[in-house]
Structure 1
Amino acid sequence: MDTPNPQPRPRSAIAWLRREALPLLAMLLLLGTARASFANHYQVPSGSMQPTLQPGDRVAVDMSAYGLRVPFTRHVLVPRGTPRRGDVAVFNSPADGVLLIKRVVAVAGDRVVLRDGRLSINGAPLALDAEGASEDFGTRVAQLDLARGGGPDIPGVVVPPGHVLVLGDHRGNSIDGRWFGFVEADALYGRAMAVYWRRGEGPGWQKL
């Protein structure tokens, strides 16, 4: 009785690639694209955004908040929104490329004054109380930590076109726009939506 010849190895390898490897690669590519374009997460490394964010917090980030982009580029396919005062945004530091999370405090055309950690935008103080521990950005209210002072002052600057100014809520303990300058608006990866995990508390959904 004749026995069937075994399938040649090259053809067998091609069949395996089509059946197993290609679907897996397609799935990984899809997941990578979705992560780069729609949603991602960020783990807070320091206390520069206290009390809003604590070290170790895990934050959900809307990667399409400022437009749906070609993955891993700044090219916007579908415009969706622009950075607004009060947004908590994720971006690479213009100084060294480290991924940071800070608050957008001013946008293009805004005149900014910062004294003792307290902001005035276009001549209007943002403080909600005499202590200046809360600031009203219109769409959001930020709680500040001024226990270590306000850090360097800003005597009065105007944000140039296409840029934003970012600061930490822990004004005396934040390396932010006072050190590395303005950030290009289209360099912001996305807007932080909520803390979904906090050390000592576990899972939750604390909106930002």
Structure 2
Amino acid sequence: MNAAAPAPRLSPVLAWLRREALPLAAMLLLLCAARDSLANHYQVPSGSMQPTLQPGDRVAVDMRAYGLRLPFTDVQLLGTGRPQRGDVAVFDSPAEGTRLIKRVVAVGGDRVELHDGYLSINGQPLQQAPANEAFGSKQVRLDLDQGGGPDINGITLPEGKLLVLGDHRGNSFDGRFFGLVDADAVYGKALAVYWRRGEGPQWQRL
């Protein structure tokens, strides 16, 4: 009786793929999913958020702050919060889809006025000092060296909408130009500057 034939051996390439490449691919996929759904970073392209953010700043972004999404999609699996006044948020421009970073200054139901770069929300001026506003306990320094930009003569935001502005009020392409932003479309909340050009690593909370 003939002995059973030996089982065919995997080629060295297939053996390497099974042993090394597949685990590496799985790890990279998990890392990409975590970056897409949990935490990410953003590089500031312009001076529209000066003095809070400078061009070239690298910013840590919490992708879970306003909802946990299915990786690589916009499908929200779990609501974890809503954008609040004073938050620095990352979102896509309603005008052209460019990813932007701006400050949320008003939420659904708020009545907004903006004159000479200074906000009033629901009849309450936010100005605390020259070039300074308060969003609750959060103090925000403004840049008004190019004026305040276009005024807003009283609008009330529908529920589910946000008004976003740059802190450099006279040099910001923001909600005064492209309109209101859907709260559900905001990707994440900017937490801190972790790298600034010329200064290196740091952790400057926003």
Same fold judged by TM-score > 0.5? yes
User: Which of 133, 136, 140 does residue 134 from structure 2 map onto?
Assistant: 136
1:23: which partner in 2?
23
- 1:67–1:77 contact (8 Å) kept in structure 2: yes
Q: Which residue of 1 aligns with 2:147?
A: 149
CA positional deviation for 1:76: 2.1
Equivalent residue in structure 1 for 2:166, among 164, 168, 179: 168
In structure 1, what is the Cα distance between the partners aligned to 2:137 and 2:57?
A: 23
Q: Report the residue type matching 1:195 in the other structure.
A: V
- Which SS does the other structure have where 1:192 is aligned? strand
C-alpha spacing 1:29/1:147, structure 2 compared with 1 (3 Å):
same
Which letter maps to 1:43? Q
What percentage of residue pairs aligned between the two structures are identical?
A: 70
Say whether 1:73 aligns with 2:76. no
Output the amino acid matched with 2:63: M
Match in the other structure for 1:122: 122
Question: In structure 2, what is the Cα distance between the partners aligned to 1:198 and 1:138?
Answer: 27
Amino acid paired to 1:201 = E
1:103-114 equivalence runs, <5 A: 103-114=103-114
Give distance in 2, aligned partners of 1:167 and 1:70: 28
Give the distance between the partners of 1:8 and 1:62, measured in 2 at CA: 44
What secondary structure is seen at the aligned counterpart in 2 of 1:156? strand
Contact 1:66 1:190 survives alignment (8 Å):
yes
Query: Aligned partner of 1:76: which letter?
Result: Q
SS of equivalent to 2:140: strand
How far, CA to CA, are the matches of 2:158 and 2:28 in structure 1? Answer: 40
Where does 1:34-53 land on structure 2 (aligned, <5 Å)?
Answer: 34-53=34-53
Is the CA contact (8 Å cut-off) linking 1:86 and 1:139 kept in structure 2?
no
Residue aligning to 2:3: none
- Number of aligned residue pairs: 201
Counterpart of 1:182 in structure 2 is: 180
For structure 2, the 5+ residue unaligned runs are 1-5
Cα distance in 2 between the residues matched to 1:205 and 1:92: 25
Structure 2 CA distance for aligned equivalents of residues 84 and 62 of structure 1: 14
What's the offset of the Cα at 1:25? Answer: 1.2
Find the aligned partners of 1:5 and 1:66 in 2 and give their Cα distance: 54
Q: Relative to structure 1, is the Cα distance of residues 112 and 16 closer, same or farther in structure 2, using a 3 angstrom cutoff?
A: same
Which position in structure 1 is the counterpart of 2:201?
203
Structure 1 SS opposite 2:42: strand
Q: 1:205 and 1:7 mapped to 2: Cα distance?
A: 54
Q: Could you say what the CA RMSD is over the residues aligned between the two structures, in angstroms?
A: 1.7
Which letter maps to 1:26? A
